Amino acid sequence: MKRTYIKELKDLTGSEVVIKGWVDIRRDHGKLIFIDLRDSTGKVQMVALPNHTDAHTLASTIRPEWVVEISGKVNPRPEKMVNKDESNGAVEIEILSIVILNKAETPPFDIRSEGKEINEEARLRYRYVDLRRDRMQKNIRNRHKATSFVREFYTSEGFVEIETPMMTKSTPEGSRDYIIPSRLDNGKFYALPQSPQQYKQLLMSAGFEKYFQIARCFRDEDTRGDRQPEFTQIDLEMSFVEQEDVMAINERMIIGLVQKLYPEKKIQEIPFPRLTYQEAIEKYKSDKPDLRTDKSDPNLLAFCWVIDFPFFEKTDDGKWTFTHNPFSAPKPEFMNDLLEKKNIEGILTTQYDIALNGSEVAGGSIRNHNPEALKKVFEVMGYADERIEKNFGHMLKALGSGTPPHGGIAFGFDRFMMILQNEPNIREIIAFAKTGEGKDLMMDSPSEVDPLQLRELGIELKKKS
């Protein structure tokens, strides 16, 4: 008999079915043995009766998290036993036979709770068990729904989804790179991308005009609740656009996503309010202000745009560095200042960020498509011509090949989903997250490698003094 999913049972009263799933809980009342069984679509109560001798005997041996196949009859529950709060609360399965597909060791923790009371390291070590809990299933499934919405939205707007390389060149972009040694070219290294920033601009040079990607990004930096060493961006770029064009389409995407997938949530203000960087700092002491009128309402979403950021800021050693992205263009009225390398502290950039409830969830800019102006950015930062050519010569050549004006944005997708799911940190919405120290306890990584691998790579480890 064909397998039936639990979500279908409420419409099959009187039918015989075969259900496969996990034992959620077993309650032995002697003559009656109740089993709550779940699959990926829901949960249902089953009962083993003494008149089905073999099934009743086997039911008494079953334990939580065993994987079983059960043949049974869908019966209406007695009226006084109906549970209107459950999707299958009006039916129960009379067990006719049981096949044990796999036994399970005693679970390391209770997965019927929210899980937030359990030590997080234990949850991450046994993540494949932790993910079975209802809250985690909802988080990951809603993440999938959001990803699907994003793909459908941008595709309908004429964007092309293009994958960019995971093995690239190490360039100074603000954070520390994860690097990969080359076996065939000893002494040289690839880097994992901090973002697809350069590749997506090169796609504008290539004439694709509208690009997007659900992109994996890597940064070797200190972790915290809303940060992981590997994370996901909704990444996009558009040609022949101005700042308003990029802001408008992405505001529309956000509103559509919330209204379709989170109808219980309220967006505080549409269109999103706009603040200059200076206004945000002066009024809220933050460039990612929390504008909620009621901070106790978990379903209130207060989006806002923050614009007109300073292009440069001073480092601790008195040099200039970019505030967001070296590839950003200055606002048009400040282009001459950049080209002449004057009024550095006063140059404003075309950067635009989206803040949500006190967190930055997206940031982008109109890019510097003029190779001469981009070169000036690196000169302001004190880079010599040789270093500029070594690190960014490929970008300067591409921009000089006939590159249109373009701009884009990247969403911190994990952080965005964390807020939408009312979770305290992004580890709760990542299937296989790492600890706050960047460790994968389940796979026991990072780990040592075979000395032969190191020799092939030309690497010799030295003990720290």
- Kindly state the tokens that stand for 352: 């635009």
Q: What is the mean pLDDT of residues 387-401?
A: 94
Q: Which residues contact 79 (CB under 8 A, 6 or more apart)?
A: none
Amino acid making up residue 430: I
Indicate the pLDDT class of residue 132, thresholds 50, 70 and 90.
very high
pLDDT in tens, 24-58: 999 999 899 999 999 999 999 999 999 999 999 99
Indicate the pLDDT class of residue 174, thresholds 50, 70 and 90.
low
Contact in structure between 96 and 74 (CB atoms under 8 Å): no
Mean pLDDT of the chain: 95
pLDDT in tens, 272-325: 999 999 999 999 999 999 999 999 999 999 999 999 999 999 988 888 999 888
pTM above 0.85, yes or no: yes
Using omega within 30 degrees of 0 as the cis cutoff, is the peptide bond preceding 64 cis? no
pLDDT for 325 equals: 87
- What is the sign of the dihedral through the CA atoms of 374, 375, 377 and 381? positive
pLDDT for 318 equals: 86
Q: Is the pLDDT of residue 172 over 80?
A: no
3-state class (DSSP) for residue 259: helix
pLDDT for 463 equals: 83
Cα–Cα distance for residue pair 154/74, rounded to 1 Å: 44
Contact in structure between 170 and 178 (CB atoms under 8 Å): no
Contact in structure between 29 and 47 (CB atoms under 8 Å): no
pLDDT for 317 equals: 87
Q: Is the pLDDT of residue 223 over 90?
A: no
pLDDT for 224 equals: 67
Q: Render the burial of 133-159: b for 16+ CB within 10 Å, e for the rest.
A: bebbeebbebbeebeebbbebbeeeeb
Indicate the pLDDT class of residue 65, thresholds 50, 70 and 90.
very high
pLDDT for 226 equals: 66
Domains defined along the chain, listed by start: 6-102 (2.40.50.140), 128-309+351-369+404-429 (3.30.930.10)
Cα–Cα distance for residue pair 412/363, rounded to 1 Å: 9
3-state class (DSSP) for residue 180: strand
pLDDT for 324 equals: 86
pLDDT above 70 as % of the chain: 98
pLDDT in tens, 252-270: 999 999 999 999 999 999 9
Phi, psi of 376 (to 5 degrees): -65, -35
- What is the sign of the dihedral through the CA atoms of 284, 290, 292 and 298? negative
Q: Is the pLDDT of residue 173 over 70?
A: no
pLDDT for 78 equals: 87
Rounded to an integer, what is the distance from CA 365 to the centroid of its chain? 21
Q: Is the pLDDT of residue 164 over 80?
A: yes
What is the SS3 string spanning 278-325? HHHHHHHCCCCCCCCCCCCCCCEECEEEEECCECEEECCCCCEEECCC
| β partners of residue 372 | none
- Kindly state the tokens that stand for 421: 């799911």
